Amino acid sequence: MALLEVRGLTKAFGSLVALGGVDLTIGENEFHGLIGPNGSGKSTLMRCVAGAELPSAGIVRFVGRDITAAAPAKRARAGLALKFQITSVFPALTVYDNVLLALQAGSSTTSLLLSRTREALRERVMHLLERFHLAQRCADRAAVLSHGQQQWLEIAMALACTPRLLLLDEPTAGMSLEERRITGELLTPMKNECSLLIVEHDLDFIRNFCDFLTVLDQGEVIDSGTVSQIQNSREVREVYHICV
Amino acid sequence: MVAAPSIGARSPCGYQRRVIPLLEIALFVTFAAAPIVLQDYITVFVTRALIIALLALSFDLVWGYSGIMSFGQALFFGAAGYGVALLARDLQITSAFIVLPAALVIGLISSLAIGAFLLLGRQPPTTIFVALGTLAGSYVAERLARDWYYLGGENGIPSIPPMTAGGYEFVEGQGYYYLAFTVLSIVYFVCRFVVRSQFGLALAGVREQEARIAFLGYEAQHMKLVMFSFAGAIAGLAGGLYAFHEGFVWPNMLGTVLSTQIVLYALLGGVGTLIGPVIGVMAVEIAGFSLADSWPKSWPIVLGLLLLLTVLFSPTGLIGMVASERERLGDFGRPALRARHADAEPDDGAT
């Protein structure tokens, strides 16, 4: 059974059709890249899968369950995590508290009121911060982190929710070359933990660790397959005049 | 990668200068000792201010901690006031062990009903929608009370007998002062526990980025409703205390004027900290009390100007002038970080 199954997904904003019947399937522990020019509907597709937008038509199934109309919180609890295109950490909270906030999300209200897991989660928070090179900044406000560090923090927060599918919308946008390299190193080991759907403009970056690619243009799927299949796809070359 | 070592270098959260706990202790000691040195009529005045501080605290919980702009806290205050007044008038129930819990429950139920209507929906409600909804609720309740004969109409319900506990009667003065002070202290520490808990961290997340936090799995609207009801219960408790202290209830207790007054008190003191609204209420009440004799007609203008200047030049209120932003916002992981710091202590010592 596929982890994520999207069938005929359509999203229209007034007369503008951002997605026109998109199909997409992602399996367990699969790294799936979503590429296409600006305005091709990549982020809209991500947002429809995560619940930030409700599709006009079509079905989104996650682990066999229809989540097309489910609220974002319900999807998150089912195992879907999203890193937004625009960095959206909690700037006034400390780096530590940002990760704690994500880690404790599954706790009950009573447990949160009594702070039952604050101590128990300490090691997991620090482990995640160390993994994302943020342990030394744990007591700083998230607002004072560099752009790249904020992106890492947001990925760490998404991972803290122990997702089965992590949606990353342009995780390296605005990063330096060095930061991109580190981000690649951070993402690669995640294959053992979850599946990944990643939107990225940097094609060199994405083809290094994605198993499959889906190419979108004007809200429609142009081609889908392994990286080598897409590299040899005539349609993709003709439409984009690019070498993937 | 830019890295500025902080916690490991034993700086930020462990050794930060903290002002708020000192203010809390100073105010607690001052309030505890006040009736010993104050004249009786001033004790009565401060008792009233302590009860109003409870109401301001309830507003702070909804706006300062949960991001819900409520212009209707007086509705829960007044509803509980009327409720206990009816218990005393019609059923002759004046026991503190019944009327205070009853006031709390009336505040809780009324705020739960209004909160569920305003806060729960497919889309999160806007701040303006909730502000106008609570304002309208407060206005309607006041008009209803004015026109309802059973509730005494314009005159309200007079001659409420004193609250009792066993054979003791709480009348204006030291007895009632310490009752109000005890209730305020208990409520304050319960609120302190809540806002510093992991639930408080989740609330901070809701306050900062409500749209974002749902993607972590939080039900932001449900959390807001929990806080709105909790604050409503506190407002109700304040209303019950106020009704028995004054000996009568009247429609203004439910209305928009008191609701707005509470917003101003809290903003002046500084929302987002628990001590801020208490300071705000005391500052305005004491200033009003002192100025009313000297400038009976113009003191509200002076007071209005002071409020305006504070909101303009210190949006974080009086508390923002003495406590850092970091201290006001708090560090929810501090206990854990301190423990980590303690673990690292021997190594640090060795170096």
Please check the confidence at residue B162 and state whether its pLDDT lies above 80: yes
Residue B2 pLDDT: 34
* Contact: B217, A114; criterion CB under 8 Å: no
Banded model confidence at residue A165, pLDDT cuts 50, 70, 90? very high
pTM: 0.88
Q: Which of residues 121-160 of A touch B (CB under 8 A)?
A: 121-122, 125-126, 133, 135-141, 146, 148-149, 157
Contacts of B172 (CB under 8 A, 6+ apart): B44, B47, B245
In this structure, the strands spanning A4-13 and A16-26 are: antiparallel
- Is some CB atom of chain B closer than 8 A to the CB atom of A119? yes
- Is some CB atom of chain B closer than 8 A to the CB atom of A91? yes
- Average pLDDT over chain B, rounded to whole? 88
B264-277 tens-digit pLDDT: 999 999 999 999 99
Which chain B residue has its CA at the smallest distance from A88's CA? Answer: B212
- Which of A60-69, A204-213, B77-86 is least confident? A204-213
- Is some CB atom of chain B closer than 8 A to the CB atom of A32? no
Residue A37 pLDDT: 84
B11: which chain A residues are within 8 Å (Cβ-Cβ)? 139
Q: For B169-193, what is the mean pLDDT?
A: 95
- Is some CB atom of chain B closer than 8 A to the CB atom of A81? yes
Looking at the fold, whether A110 and A200 belong to one and the same domain comes out as no
Q: Kindly give the interhelix angle for B334-350 and A122-131, rounded to the nearest 10 degrees.
A: 70
In B40-178, at which residue ranges do the beta strands (DSSP E only) sit?
163-165, 168-170
Looking at the fold, whether A187 and A95 belong to one and the same domain comes out as no
Whichever domain contains A167, its CATH number is 3.40.50.300
* Contact: B1, A122; criterion CB under 8 Å: no
Residue B8 pLDDT: 34
- Is some CB atom of chain A closer than 8 A to the CB atom of B194? yes
B210: which chain A residues are within 8 Å (Cβ-Cβ)? none
Banded model confidence at residue B349, pLDDT cuts 50, 70, 90? very low
What is the least distance, in Å, from the CA of B223 to any CA of chain A?
8
Looking at the fold, whether A109 and A181 belong to one and the same domain comes out as no
Please check the confidence at residue B247 and state whether its pLDDT lies above 80: yes
Looking at the fold, whether A61 and A168 belong to one and the same domain comes out as yes
A111: which chain B residues are within 8 Å (Cβ-Cβ)? 198
Banded model confidence at residue B108, pLDDT cuts 50, 70, 90? very high
What's the ipTM? Answer: 0.89
Please indicate whether residue B65 or residue A233 has the higher confidence score (pLDDT): B65
Please check the confidence at residue B12 and state whether its pLDDT lies above 90: no
How many other β-carbons are positioned within 10 Å of the β-carbon of residue B137?
26
B322: left (phi over 0), alpha (psi -120 to 50) or beta: alpha
Residue B342 pLDDT: 56
What is the least distance, in Å, from the CA of A161 to any CA of chain B?
7
- Average pLDDT over chain A, rounded to whole? 89
Looking at the fold, whether A169 and A215 belong to one and the same domain comes out as yes
Looking at the fold, whether A66 and A111 belong to one and the same domain comes out as no
CATH number of B20-332: 1.10.3470
Domain presence at residue A140: yes
Task: Work out whether the CA dihedral A227, A233, A239, A244 comes out positive or negative.
Answer: positive
Residue B331 pLDDT: 76
Residue B278 pLDDT: 96
Cβ–Cβ < 8 Å for B156, B250 = yes
Name which of A52, A116, A139 is nearest B13 (Cβ-Cβ).
Answer: A139
Cβ–Cβ < 8 Å for A197, A28 = no
Residue B123 pLDDT: 79
Cβ–Cβ < 8 Å for B43, B174 = yes
Q: How far apart are CA A47 and CA B338, in angstroms?
A: 39
Looking at the fold, whether A173 and A231 belong to one and the same domain comes out as yes
Q: For B321-345, what is the mean pLDDT?
A: 69
Residue A240 pLDDT: 66
Domain that holds residue A213: 4-84+163-240
| Domain-wise residue ranges, chain B | 20-332
* Contact: A140, B333; criterion CB under 8 Å: no
Looking at the fold, whether A169 and A230 belong to one and the same domain comes out as yes
Cβ–Cβ < 8 Å for B277, B60 = yes
When scoring A47, A48, A80, A90 by the number of chain B Cβ atoms within 10 A, the one with the most, hence best to mutate, is A90
Please check the confidence at residue B348 and state whether its pLDDT lies above 50: no
Please check the confidence at residue B347 and state whether its pLDDT lies above 60: no
Q: Which of residues 154-213 of A touch B (CB under 8 A)?
A: 157, 161, 178-179, 182
Looking at the fold, whether A64 and A175 belong to one and the same domain comes out as yes
* Contact: B205, A93; criterion CB under 8 Å: yes
B69 DSSP assignment: -
Q: What is the tally of structural domains in chain A?
A: 2
Q: Which structure tokens are listed for A71?
A: 């609220």
Cβ–Cβ < 8 Å for A72, A84 = no
Residue B183 pLDDT: 97
Q: Kindly give the interhelix angle for B198-208 and A95-103, rounded to the nearest 10 degrees.
A: 110
Please check the confidence at residue B14 and state whether its pLDDT lies above 50: no
* Contact: B8, A136; criterion CB under 8 Å: yes
Domain presence at residue A151: no
B93-105 tens-digit pLDDT: 999 999 999 999 9
* Contact: A113, B197; criterion CB under 8 Å: yes
Domain presence at residue A149: no
Looking at the fold, whether A63 and A99 belong to one and the same domain comes out as no
In chain B, at which residue ranges do the beta strands (DSSP E only) sit?
163-165, 168-170
Cβ–Cβ < 8 Å for B172, B46 = no
Of how many residues is chain A composed?
A: 244
